[in-house]
Amino acid sequence: MVGIVAYGAYVPRLRLQRQAVYDANKWFAAGLRGLAKGERSMANWDEDSITMAVEASRDCLTSHKAEDVRSLYFASTTHPFKDRQNAGVIGTALSIEQNLLASDVGGSQKAGTSALIAGLNASKNGGGPALVAAADKRMARVASSNELNYGDGAAALLCGTENVIANLVGHHSVSMDFVDHFRGDETDFDYGWEERWIRDEGYSKIAPPAIKAALAACKLKGADITHFIMPSLMPAVPKQMAKICGIADGSVRDLLGANLGDTGAAHALVMLVDALEGAKAGDKIMVVAFGQGVDVLVFEVTAENAKLPKRKGLSGWLARRKEEKNYLKFLAFNEMLPIEKGMRAEFDKKTALSVLWRKRDMIYGLVGGKCKVCGTVQFPRTQVCVNPNCHAIDSQDPYAMAGLEANVMSFTADSLVYSPDPPGYYGMITFPEGGRFMADFTDSDKEQVKVGAKMRMTFRIRDNDTMRGGFKRYFWKAAPV
Amino acid sequence: MARGIKDKVAILGMGCSKFGERWDSGAEELMLEAYKECIADSGIDAKQLNAAWFSTAIDEVHVGKSGIPLSMTLRLPNIPVTHVENMCASGTEAFRGACYAVASGAADFALALGVEKLKDTGYGGLPGGRGGPLQALWNANGTAPGNFAQLASAYQTAHGVSADDLKKAIGHVSWKSHQNGAKNPKAHLQKAVEMDTILNAPMIASPLGLFDCCGVSDGAAAAIVTTPEIAKSLGKHNLVSVKALQLSVSNGSESGHNSWDGSYFHTTRIASKKAYEEAGIKNPRDEVSMFEVHDCFSVTELVTMEDLHISETGKGWKDVLDGFYDADGKIPCQIDGGLKCFGHPIGASGLRMLYEMYLQFQGRAGARQLKDPRIGMTHNLGGSPRENVSSIAIVGRFE
């Protein structure tokens, strides 16, 4: 039977305090006062939906081998590239390329669940393990409610047929062009219609029939549902839908608004990970995503869930947090503030695509080398071994380093270099297995960066080539463990 | 070890422009300023030059590629001109080329001229954004101060030196160079600075503050070399001859192999040993009279004095604080102000160091003249602590 075999999540470290946003904007939008509580996740300047999806996928694959994945679906409404397969970047970062079907899924807030249905069906039909990653980093206008309600984050689910932790009981979808909001291709921002109309003509008339159809197909009653997952920017809506469908009020899952925010196309899957982390064998989980129709999925948790090896998961990533009260920094990170960057920000970031292709395992996979003659691990992998007592030629096998912990050997905080978040922290990191390189640090504070500090490698944006329409250069950075 | 070129080459003449933010001059004017002094000092005519070496490091922001800019600017008599670039060691490389030409007999008179015009970029610090298309994809987004600053954290770790002690020691390095630079009319920065000012200056790349970083300057320096025999035949006295020229270049072990701890310059240790051997120096701490080393950053100088085998490893900071390298110390270092105050027009720096040595040996160093120097050593370090070019020149009285 097909189902979910592993889960993972990712939440950026920074948590923007909503009160700080409100304090800056209340002169203009006093009506936002009711939303000025709690915090929302805020991507670092070097994070986007691809980097967050990579992190969530790595979290998910804590217990499984990446090379076994046969299909990869990446759901988002904020894919960094319109034409360049975003899922392919994730696949290369995970060092899976061969025998891989990769696909981007987008265009709707139900992209995450649609991708999950596709992944489950692919796996069910003999396609092997399918990895479904969903991430969103949505922009919002200054002083809008979206700015306060949205959060940045990602989830990943591995679909398969062996050691299933949550069996797919059934799913049902309806699709119709109900435009509660839209984002045209000439803007970064959403444009939404009146909430009361969305609630009364949209949710209330579209969701319950689909939920009931799914229940019927699964031969279940509303009361059988233990966890009811339904993202919505209107917190009362999921409870109303549950009530209409006979689902207990106590089964309605928290929307994670207080300390995360709504992560867009990823949110249904983020909430599913949240539910799976605490679910017991026999629990029935219903996932509903609304957006130009409805996707409904029903799962039954198995005894395998308790045996799944530990991972950070949503709770782990949520626990890694740093309060951010600087609203201007949030605007600057999102290119919403014409900040004076100085001439050092003008250096050309043109990427030689031919070089990137030749070196993609090194750049996107952080794959180094291990010398067959002397055993020295090194980065990058070159033709002549770096060991001064070896220097063997053409002696190295590929050696994956992204999953290794490193130590800080030397470091600095550089105020001269251009960084969107000065000072720029970087330093020499060494891997206990062998190998070292001068790495940019990210998610770092003065108190954390020390000689000997343990660092974890994380896939991030290195540069953005704005001269050529926003080609993001990705590479691995070191972040304090 | 090869036979070397000890005493096969003598310096016939030298020149050096005023260093600084030379808003009045382009690279061409700076080159001519140094050359005019140099050719007059040598006493020969331009037509007698057989070959020239021309050094710049960041030529893309001033003269561009090839030997043509030097030949055009000086209207040289269609002789071979070779453009050399080896980062901060470029000036010494031009000198090395000219010396080897003379030592081999291929040239009787060879010119080495280095120039850098950095202050046409519109911003402070060195121009950035170099490196090939692969480096741009993975090398840390760093600067020169940020790379050299890391010597400090590694040095502290390796030798158990406290952050405060090291900060004071590197502060003293800069304080001493400012004392010296104040006596040099060609220096970029000619003002003595109080220790408190140095220690409390704004941070550039921790722990390096503003005064731990050398100036970014425009300037040029030049030398004409010949054989000691030819120099004597031209009636020259007090000859200054070349005792050793050595270069060591990283091969990636520091940046890629876990055997290096980041607290020293692997290449400088190698190049200096070879240079002492070529020059026949057994005990450098007793035999060398003065140093001009690559103090691009204060911590670089401190560590270098250990790698040149003068201070004991891990104890250089104590020698510095004891005033060992001050103008009135045992071995004065940066008597002309160093990169810190004389300035650092990259392609000219190696030749600028030799210029000071030349003046000192000839008793022409004015207010900063040392008493009876016999052997002088210059050192350049191009790149970063983990990947670099280290060059050494030893010059001295021809006896």
- pLDDT tens digits, one per residue of B29-58: 999 999 999 999 999 999 999 999 999 999
**What's the farthest any 2 CA atoms get from each other in chain A?**
75
Distance from CA of A351 to the nearest CA of B (A): 7
| Side chain identity at residue B291, one-letter code | F
- Global pTM reads 0.96
Residues of B in contact with A415 (CB under 8 A): 202-205
* Contact map slice: A 371-430 vs B, CB within 8 A: 376, 378-380, 382, 386-388, 409-419, 423-424, 426-428, 430
> Which of B121, B157, B259 minimises the CB distance to A451?
B157
Q: What is the mean pLDDT of residues A462-470?
A: 95
Q: What is the mean pLDDT of residues A83-103?
A: 95
> In chain B, which residues fall in CATH 3.40.47.10?
10-119+218-233, 143-212+243-397
CB hemisphere CA count around A106 (13 angstroms): 20
Which CATH number fits the domain A352-366+401-480, given the four candidates 1.10.10, 1.10.8, 2.40.50, 1.20.1300?
A: 2.40.50
Q: Which residue of B has its CA nearest to A426?
A: B140
Q: What is the mean pLDDT of residues B169-183?
A: 98
- State the Cα torsion A466-A470-A471-A473 to the nearest 10°: 70
Q: What is the mean pLDDT of residues B144-158?
A: 97
Superfamily of domain B10-119+218-233 in CATH is: Thiolase/Chalcone synthase (3.40.47.10)
**Residue A123: what are its φ and ψ, rounded to 5°?**
-70, -40
A94-103, A244-253, A267-276: which range is least confident on average? Answer: A94-103
For the cut 90, the answer to whether the pLDDT of residue B1 exceeds it is no
- Beta carbons of A255 and A276 less than 8 angstroms apart: no
CA-derived radius of gyration, chain A: 23
pLDDT level of residue B13 (50, 70, 90 thresholds) = very high
For the cut 70, the answer to whether the pLDDT of residue B370 exceeds it is yes
- Beta carbons of A228 and A253 less than 8 angstroms apart: yes
CATH class of B143-212+243-397: alpha beta
For the cut 80, the answer to whether the pLDDT of residue B313 exceeds it is yes
Q: Phi-psi category of B296—alpha, beta or left, where left has phi over 0 and alpha has psi -120 to 50?
A: alpha
Q: Could you confirm whether domain A3-333 is CATH 3.40.47.10?
A: yes
Domain boundaries, chain A: 3-333, 352-366+401-480
Distance from CA of B147 to the nearest CA of A (A): 8
Task: Please provide the DSSP assignment of B330-342 as one string.
Answer: SS-B-TT-HHHHT
Q: Which residue of A has its CA nearest to B209?
A: A415
Q: What is the mean pLDDT of residues B221-247?
A: 97
In whole angstroms, give the CA distance from residue A202 to residue A193: 11
> Which of A348, A388, A419 minimises the CB distance to B129?
A348
Residue B129 has what pLDDT? 66
For the cut 80, the answer to whether the pLDDT of residue B261 exceeds it is yes
In whole angstroms, give the CA distance from residue A213 to residue A297: 11
Selected residue with higher pLDDT from A123 and B215 = A123
pLDDT level of residue A464 (50, 70, 90 thresholds) = very high
- Give the length of chain B: 399
Instruction: State which H helix or E strand residue A330 sits in.
Output: helix A327-333
In whole angstroms, give the CA distance from residue A191 to residue B23: 54
- Chains A and B form CB pairs within 8 A to the count of 146
**Residue A67: what are its φ and ψ, rounded to 5°?**
-70, -15
SS3 content of chain B, % helix, strand, coil (to 5): 40, 20, 40
pLDDT level of residue A86 (50, 70, 90 thresholds) = very high
Residue A98 has what pLDDT? 86
In whole angstroms, give the CA distance from residue B399 to residue B361: 12
**Residue of B377, B338, B346, B356 lying closest to B14 (CA atoms):** B356
> Which of A415, A416, A438 minimises the CB distance to B140?
A438
Residue B108 has what pLDDT? 98
- pLDDT tens digits, one per residue of A320-353: 999 999 999 999 999 999 999 999 998 899 999 9
- pLDDT tens digits, one per residue of A2-31: 999 999 999 999 999 999 999 999 999 999
Distance from CA of A332 to the nearest CA of B (A): 19
